[in-house]
Amino acid sequence: MITLFCAGLIGFWLVLDGAYWNEDASLLDPSQSAGVLRREKGAVRQRSEKSWVWRDIGDQEYQVALGDTVFTGESGHALVRLASGSEIAITPHSLITIQQEERAAVKSGWLARLADRSAAGPARHTVEIKQGQVKLRLTPKMAPLRIKSNNTDYKLESVSANSSVELSVDPKSAGGLQLTTGSESQIKITEEKPDSAMPKAAVVVAAGHTAVIQKEQETRVYDVSLRPLRPGSGEARYINPAIAESFPAEFEWEAIDRVPPGATLSLEVQETETNHKTKQRVDPESAKATLSVRPGKYQWRLAFDSPDQKQITSSWMTFSVLGLAAPQPMAPANNSRFTTLTSEVSDLEISLSWGRAPGEAKTEVQIARDSTDFQGQKDSRVTEQSNLRLDLPLGRYFWRIRSVLPDEQVSPWSETLQFTVAAPAAIPSPLPIAVPSPVPAPRILPKLAVNTPALSTRLRSADELQKVPLIIEWNSILEAKEYRVSLFDGSKAVFKNRATSEPRLHFLLDSISGQYSYEVTALLEEGAVITSGRVNLPLELAAPVLKLPDDGAVLDGDFVLTWERTLATKSYQIQVSSDQDFSTTVVNEQVINNFYSFFEPRAGTYHWRVRSQLKDLDSGWSSTRRFIVK
């Protein structure tokens, strides 16, 4: 009886033990929580190990399970706080997976596994960096953090009281890992190869040093660290295209007083949409350099080229240079006419309003009377508001505006509009009592002019991924007590008579089509109604912008093709071909996410492109990029 009871107890234990069914499985539960994920800004997405569906991360904290993958977009920043206490700050264009350390199952039977279970200790996490940069914070009290890159495991331990370290993986370097320590941080890194009889010795990376780690090569540690400062984090710089075609961008970094012997420091600036790269040698000690760039989106980094062919690079920083557009005058409409209440009152309050341009800090308003000669006679005022109220005497007026940036750059002048302030028409003398009074002339109502924007699928903000933002604006009417806006999708009303007191309305669309139209109605104090009539919204289908890998990248192993999302898109069509004409395709698929995972590709040269797909509409193809598989 005792023997049967023991056999039953042992059998029940084996059923509970997942390793009984799979000798290669981990003894730890893969579904346990690894920590929490928080989006700092921009687009951040999360996917579980058992699903191909990605989830957009909002502002609240999310649980991270073992096996989860986190992907950050062009301006995405995220923070993962592991249960062990380690913090991982993820920068844009990064792809990482949180795993549990795999432990080989004991082959000698269930008794050995049962004895080893008590000594196994708590779960230890492994962070696999597939591409991009992450920043870690460790202390000696924390359990060692394991990093995986290019199918190799590394153990990181803090030697100093508090250690900050930046890790980066560049897909173009075949998964090479680079580690840079902070100014007061010391890290010990150990390459772990359980199947190797001769494991590599641990390497201690001192404060302010950089370690370059390549597969099957010795780790090199350099007494240098590269830390770019500005521009970065998606900063935008503006340029007036009427004054200059290029912008003298200033790049700053922490001063470098230790240069590897024979190494040269270069500034690398790459335009993200065309992949055009500029490389300029700079002085390490100056900590500053200037390079002229045209309007566009850019990323930049610093790079040391050493005689031993090892390249030390900083993390990528992103910025954009935008053409500074003139602000748009809104009200009063061109050739408007305003009448004073009586002939004795010669001054009238007029309100000028306009739509502000991106990056604008202030607006300069110029007003000229009876002439377009703004230089000879002008009233120039600078305001931080988007409207200006003036008391003006009778006369004809011309006005124009331009943007003023914080660095005192100015935009081109807007178009010149005019309006008139006039006295009321003379009232005729009363006629004899027997004669009927004349019927007063009907009042001429002001016109309602709208500024129709294009309904574009191009992504304007990483915070608006599912909806299409739209702003409708029109000229302000002094007598209006309220405006009402109606939006239609074909003959169906999306919403009707949405009220606003401002001459503009901002809203979000759940979908996009070429059938949208709108109508604006102004309700005047005296009861009159002015309408703009039905106005169609033009549709602009934007092609996706390819992101990673860079054009001409040399890749090894599995990798991910990524591109910028377009708004309200149902799916994307991706094509990969061995010829640039795409006469035959290796991949021709529809995907719902803005990336495609390429597993175990054959060696060769490939070309790829993507287009957006709405219900029954397709955008044009994106530009074509090339990559090489070793």
3-class SS letters over 89-132: EECCCCEEEEEECCCCCCCCCHHHHHHHHCCCCCCCEEEEEEEE
Q: Are both 87 and 187 inside the same structural domain?
A: yes
When divided into structural domains, the chain yields a total of: 5
Q: Are both 332 and 410 inside the same structural domain?
A: yes
Over residues 237-259, the pLDDT tens digits come to 777 766 767 778 889 888 776 77
Over residues 204-242, the pLDDT tens digits come to 888 888 888 776 667 777 777 778 888 876 777 777 766
**3-state SS, residue 237:** strand
Percent of the chain, pLDDT > 90?
Answer: 2
Over residues 119-175, the pLDDT tens digits come to 444 456 788 888 777 888 877 777 778 888 777 788 888 888 777 888 887 655 555
Instruction: Check residues 232 and 115 and name the one with the higher pLDDT.
Output: 232
Among 477, 474, 375, which residue's Cα sits nearest to residue 419? 477
* Other CB atoms within 10 Å distance of the CB of residue 119: 6
Look at residues 487, 510, 540 and tell me which one is the last residue of a structural domain: 540
Over residues 343-352, the pLDDT tens digits come to 555 566 777 8
The predicted pLDDT at position 21 comes to: 27
The predicted pLDDT at position 199 comes to: 59
Tell me the range of 127-141, 180-194, 275-289, 428-442 where mean pLDDT is highest: 275-289
Is 125 within a domain? yes
Look at residues 422, 438, 467 and tell me which one is the last residue of a structural domain: 422
Q: Are both 319 and 332 inside the same structural domain?
A: no
Average pLDDT over residues 458-465: 56
- One DSSP character per residue, 291-307 reads EEE-SEEEEEEEEEE-T
pLDDT band at 574 (very low <50, low <70, confident <90, very high): very high
Domain of 506: which CATH number?
A: 2.60.40
Q: Are both 287 and 346 inside the same structural domain?
A: no
Rounded distance between C-alpha atoms, residue 453 and residue 331, angstroms: 17
Q: Are both 455 and 391 inside the same structural domain?
A: no
pLDDT band at 262 (very low <50, low <70, confident <90, very high): confident
Q: Are both 62 and 190 inside the same structural domain?
A: yes
pLDDT band at 430 (very low <50, low <70, confident <90, very high): low
Q: Are both 187 and 248 inside the same structural domain?
A: no
Strands (E) across 233-383 are located at 235-239, 247-253, 264-271, 277-281, 288-293, 296-305, 311-313, 317-323, 328-331, 336-339, 348-355, 362-369, 379-383
Q: Using CB atoms within 10 Å of the CB of residue 54, give its burial: 0 to 12 exposed, 13 to 18 middle, 19+ buried.
A: middle
Work out the mean pLDDT of the chain and round it to a whole number: 75
Q: Are both 572 and 613 inside the same structural domain?
A: yes
Among 331, 283, 330, 277, which residue's Cα sits nearest to residue 299? 277
Answer whether 0.75 is exceeded by the pTM: no
Strands (E) across 455-538 are located at 455-456, 468-474, 480-489, 492-500, 504-509, 516-524, 529-531, 535-536
Q: Are both 168 and 267 inside the same structural domain?
A: no
Helix, strand, coil percentages (3-state) for the chain, rounded to 5, are 5, 50, 50
Distances from the Cα of 179 to the Cα of 28, 296, 499, angstroms: 30, 30, 57
pLDDT band at 104 (very low <50, low <70, confident <90, very high): very low
Average pLDDT over residues 326-355: 73
Is 36 within a domain? yes
Is 216 within a domain? no
Percent of the chain, pLDDT > 70?
Answer: 76
Is 439 within a domain? no
Q: Are both 60 and 163 inside the same structural domain?
A: yes
Q: Are both 25 and 131 inside the same structural domain?
A: yes
Domain that holds residue 365: 328-422
